[in-house]
């Protein structure tokens, strides 16, 4: 199997991650609840995960990091906490995943906000000045997918923040956390949301958010936290306010191990490797006639290691099916939970085939994938099953 679907979830996970999960699963404890030794150790597991995330993003105050089951929950919690009210204006990119687009669409449908999007240029790249020019006096929030899970384009997040000034920015780091150095974020980002099972190399069921001092918060669910048990109200302090119910301790042990693995390796090295992979792949496929790449092509480094493409004459599902059946290459076809991005790129509703490289892929594999595409491009359709 050649796994090129790391934008969906990363594979393989480092042995350190598997070991950390196994050790935590073998411990009889619930963090923050009982006072016995194993329970205290479980609390330490969670603390170490918070510390690892804080180090990754350069966050000073660990308590402002709350864990959730994934980034989708984190985004929903963050949007609920901003306190958006009648006809507040929200700006987002036109490349948002449904994890941000659906909650925004719901808020707009309920007439709580007006929502506008900023389109990328013909090269697939977003520009800070386009966000600045759409700001209104009542713009309360800018929502930004940092790395597109469709085109791979990297948004100029810091330049956008500089262009929008005091307006808070919510960053969806699903595709960039663990893929590049991001330790400067803690000094300027207002809201950071992340998922544990992609670039951070952790298991599914982990994710979270960071809220800068002064950003409001509102629980999406209330319940047991192990703190202030005498009260029927949810604690009003972070992270407890946003962490109702027993945390995914073994998942967080795996997440911490994944983040520490990356920190030890060096995020600059990870970035360099992934850019090499994608550069080789883009270079090789750019010679294939009838093949079109969505967004940034060869030579543009404002990108993550995800490339979506189509080959004339092939539907995206047939092409992904042939790649798996004939070459054992795992990709993802269709709309990638991102209809807005495909509309922006002119590939709605058919979608595209997405290749997403990860830390453990090799240059050889990138070349193999390109070769498979070259061969398939010479045919009109998938082979009929016998
Ligand atoms: C950009 C982006 N945002 C959000 C998500 C949602 O991630 P999760 O399903 O882990 O909440 C994804 C995952 O596909 C994504 O690529």
Decide: 367 and 280 in contact? Cβ < 8 Å. Answer: yes
Average per-residue pLDDT in the chain?
Answer: 96
Q: Is the dihedral of CA 6, 8, 11, 15 positive or negative?
A: positive
Whether 260 lines ligand 1, by a CB cut-off of 6 Å, is: no
Helix (H) or strand (E) holding 79: helix 71-81
Q: Whose CA is nearest to atom 14 of ligand 1?
A: 8
> Quick one: which atom of ligand 1 is closest to the CA of 336?
14
Looking at the predicted structure, is the pLDDT value of residue 166 above 80? yes
Whether 337 lines ligand 1, by a CB cut-off of 6 Å, is: yes
Domain with residues 2-10+267-377, CATH architecture: Alpha-Beta Complex (3.90)
Indicate the CATH number of 15-265 among 3.40.250.10, 3.40.630.10, 3.40.640.10, 1.20.120.50: 3.40.640.10
pLDDT per position as a tens digit, 85-109: 999 999 999 999 999 999 999 999 9
Looking at the predicted structure, is the pLDDT value of residue 386 above 60? no
Proportion of the chain above pLDDT 70, given as a percent: 98
Please give the pLDDT value at position 382. Answer: 65
Please give the pLDDT value at position 384. Answer: 59
Mean pLDDT of 17-44: 92
CA of 197 to the centre of ligand 1 (A): 10
CA of 71 to the centre of ligand 1 (A): 6
> pLDDT confidence of 383, banded at 50, 70, 90?
low
pLDDT per position as a tens digit, 167-176: 999 999 999 9
Please give the pLDDT value at position 28. Answer: 81
- What is the DSSP secondary-structure string of 257-311? HHHHHHHHH-HHHHHHHHHHHHHHHHHHHTT-TTEEE-S--TT--SB-SEEEEEE
Residues 6 or more apart in contact with residue 155 via CB below 8 angstroms = 93, 95, 126, 144, 145, 146, 147, 148
Q: Whose CA is nearest to atom 16 of ligand 1?
A: 149
**Best mutation site among 93, 126, 195 for ligand 1 pocket (most ligand atoms within 8 Å of CB):** 195
Domain ranges of the chain: 2-10+267-377, 15-265
CA of 211 to the centre of ligand 1 (A): 19
> pLDDT confidence of 361, banded at 50, 70, 90?
very high
Closest CA relative to residue 222, chosen from 210, 208, 206, 236: 236
Decide: 147 and 308 in contact? Cβ < 8 Å. Answer: no
- Quote the pTM value: 0.97
């Amino acid at each position: 199997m050649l796994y090129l679907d790391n934008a969906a979830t990363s594979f393989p996970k480092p042995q350190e991650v598997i070991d950390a999960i196994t050790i935590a699963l073998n411990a009889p404890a619930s963090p923050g609840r009982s006072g016995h030794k194993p329970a205290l150790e479980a609390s330490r597991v969670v603390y170490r995960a918070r510390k690892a995330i804080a180090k990754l993003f350069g966050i000073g105050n660990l308590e402002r990091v709350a864990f959730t089951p994934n980034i989708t929950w984190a985004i929903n919690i963050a949007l609920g906490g901003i306190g958006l009210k009648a006809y507040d204006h929200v700006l987002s990119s036109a490349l948002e995943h449904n994890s941000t687009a659906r909650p925004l669409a719901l808020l707009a449908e309920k007439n709580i906000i007006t929502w506008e999007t900023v389109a990328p240029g013909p090269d697939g790249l977003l520009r800070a000045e386009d966000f600045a020019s759409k700001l209104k006096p009542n713009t309360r929030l800018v929502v930004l997918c940092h790395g597109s899970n469709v085109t791979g384009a990297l948004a100029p997040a810091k330049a956008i923040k500089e262009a929008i000034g005091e307006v808070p920015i919510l960053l969806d780091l699903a595709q960039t956390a663990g893929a590049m150095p991001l330790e400067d974020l803690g000094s300027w980002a207002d809201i950071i949301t992340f998922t544990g099972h992609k670039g951070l190399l952790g298991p599914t069921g982990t994710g979270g958010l960071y809220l800068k001092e002064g950003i409001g918060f509102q629980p999406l669910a209330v319940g047991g936290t192990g703190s202030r048990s005498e009260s029927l109200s949810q604690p009003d302090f972070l992270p407890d306010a946003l962490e109702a119910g027993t945390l995914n301790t073994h998942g967080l042990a795996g997440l911490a191990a994944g983040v520490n693995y990356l920190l030890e390796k060096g995020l600059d090295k990870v970035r360099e490797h992934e850019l090499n992979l994608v550069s080789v792949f883009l270079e090789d496929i750019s010679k294939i006639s009838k093949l079109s790449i969505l967004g940034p092509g060869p030579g543009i480094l404002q990108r993550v290691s995800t490339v979506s493409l189509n080959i004339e004459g092939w539907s995206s599902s047939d092409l992904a099916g042939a790649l798996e059946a004939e070459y054992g290459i795992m990709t993802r076809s269709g709309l990638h939970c991102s209809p807005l991005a495909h509309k922006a790129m002119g590939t709605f509703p058919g979608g595209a085939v997405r290749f997403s490289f990860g830390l453990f892929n090799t240059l050889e594999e990138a070349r193999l994938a390109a070769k498979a595409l070259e061969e398939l491009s010479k045919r009109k359709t998938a082979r009929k099953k016998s």
